[in-house]
Amino acid sequence: MALPDPEEAIRAPGPWTHRDVAANGSRFHVADLGDGPVVLLLHGFPTFWWTWRRHLVLLAEAGYRAIAMDLRGYGGSDHPPEGYDPRTLSADVAGVIRCLGVPEATIVGHGWGGLVAWSTAVLEPEVVRAIAPVSMPHPRQLRSALLRDGRQRAAMRYALGFQWPFLPERSLTAHDGKRVGDFLASWSQDPGWLDEATRDTFQAAFLRWPTAHTAIEYHRWAVRSVIRPDGLGYMSVMEAPVQRPVLQVHGTADPMVLVGSVDGSDEYVRAPYTRVDLSAGHFVHEEVPEDFSRALLTWLDGPGGS
């Protein structure tokens, strides 16, 4: 069966409203639903805003304004040649929040989106009400886990393969983006959530040029900046404690970010910190959406909304 057109996948119909927001010198695509306190949802690799489709509806029904954003280089947002570092990505998020005309938002981020949530809470705290990183330890804690734990290094070895020029992009777009679907399945505890239509939608969106290249640029920055001044400076800044409530959600069977790698993230938080481990792999919000939604809404009604 042929994949959907990439533009149709990115602008998937639903109860939400698609918007284009100008911020930080770029244009960002968001899906917007509901009224109330703003919850900004950030996706990870290799997905796009649509990974939050269920939670847009659930949050709106619970009295929140839910906004799912395509990060720089993904989906319907601009794909500039640079800016795939946490400082720029945090400025993107802060700019989108301001341009939406709201003073602050709770940021929920999965994977790379979780790293951006942690970063925005330190770099742009004035627009952050609270953060909920999903499948992502605090950046300094993740670096520590990579240094001390050979199993964690092995789990993220795929990122080393992304350092080659051209070849990774070709591998991600070959055979209608099959490798994208393979990542989604292999990083899940139970890939039953990934039916054919869902897999096709994620693969189709990834085929929009030049998403394969710009998505890989996140990984290239992360690896190549380890000993560069920009990377060292970022890690130094992230030593500052997070002064906003934090909900940490992780899958106990996450094969990519091991559950033990999260331990110690609370040491970087000087506000109410809540951790919830769920029986899932890397894509917690997709694999166990009801459990994830229950944990998120309970937190939003308590520490996350205080």
DSSP-derived pairing of the beta strands 65-69 and 105-110:
unpaired
DSSP-derived pairing of the beta strands 26-33 and 17-23:
antiparallel
- The structural domains of the chain, with segments of one domain joined by +, span 10-305
| Cβ contact 18:53 at 8 Å | no
Q: Where are the beta strands (DSSP E) in 25-116?
A: 26-33, 38-42, 65-69, 105-110
Report phi then psi at 160, rounded to 5.
Answer: -65, -35
CATH superfamily to which 10-305 belongs: Alpha/Beta hydrolase fold, catalytic domain (3.40.50.1820)
* Measured distance CA(148)–CA(152) in Å, rounded: 8
Task: For residue 18, list its beta bridge partners.
Answer: 31
In sign, the C-alpha dihedral spanning 280, 184, 299, 36 is negative
Secondary structure class of 30 (helix, strand, coil): strand
Residue 129 has which token pair? Answer: 């009400």
DSSP-derived pairing of the beta strands 128-134 and 246-251:
parallel
Contacts of 235 (CB under 8 A, 6+ apart): 139, 140, 143
Residue found by looking up tokens 């949530």 in the block? 117
Cβ neighbourhood burial of 245 (10 Å; 0-12, 13-18, 19+) = buried
Supply the pTM of this predicted model.
0.98
* Measured distance CA(190)–CA(280) in Å, rounded: 7
Cβ neighbourhood burial of 27 (10 Å; 0-12, 13-18, 19+) = middle
What pLDDT score was predicted for residue 2?
86
Gap between the terminal Cα atoms of the chain: 48
- Can you give the pLDDT of all 306 residues of the chain as single tens digits? 689 999 999 999 999 999 999 999 999 999 999 999 999 999 999 999 999 999 999 999 999 999 999 999 999 999 999 999 999 999 999 999 999 999 999 999 999 999 999 999 999 999 999 999 999 999 999 999 999 999 999 999 999 999 999 999 999 999 999 999 999 999 999 999 999 999 999 999 999 999 999 999 999 999 999 999 999 999 999 999 999 999 999 999 999 999 999 999 999 999 999 999 999 999 999 999 999 999 999 999 998 886
Largest Cα separation within the chain, whole Å, is 51
Report phi then psi at 75, rounded to 5.
Answer: 50, -130
What pLDDT score was predicted for residue 306?
67
What pLDDT score was predicted for residue 137?
98
What pLDDT score was predicted for residue 1?
64
What pLDDT score was predicted for residue 305?
83
Residue 56 has which token pair? Answer: 């847009």
